[in-house]
Homo-oligomer: A and B are copies of this chain.
Amino acid sequence: MTARPDPLTVEVVDLIGTVVARFHEEYERAAAEHSLTGAQARLLRLLAMESMPMRKLAQCLKCEPSNVTGIVDRLESRGLVERRPDPADRRVKLAVPTTEGQATAEHLRTSLDFAREPLGRLTAAERTLLKQLLQRMLGLGDAPDASDSPEAGGPAEGPGRGGA
How would you classify the secondary structure of chain A's contact residues: helix, strand, loop or mixed? helix
Docked-complex contact B121 and A139, CB < 8 angstroms: yes
Oligomeric state, in number of copies? 2
Does A88 interact with chain B (Cβ within 8 Å)?
no
Partner among B17, B115, B124 whose Cβ is within 8 Å of the Cβ of A23: B17
Does A32 interact with chain B (Cβ within 8 Å)?
no
In the complex, what distance in Å separates the CA atom of A122 from the CA atom of B162?
Answer: 12
Residues of chain A at interface, number, CB under 8 A: 61
Chain A residues proximal to chain B, CB less than 8 Å: 1-2, 5, 7-9, 11-25, 62, 106, 110, 112, 115-119, 121-131, 133-139, 143, 145, 150, 152, 155-159, 161-164
A-B contact pairs, 27 of them (CB 8 A): A1-B110, A5-B116, A7-B145, A8-B124, A9-B116, A11-B131, A11-B143, A13-B116, A13-B119, A15-B134, A16-B115, A17-B115, A17-B163, A19-B19, A19-B20, A21-B161, A21-B162, A118-B139, A121-B136, A121-B139, A122-B137, A124-B161, A125-B159, A125-B161, A126-B133, A129-B129, A130-B137
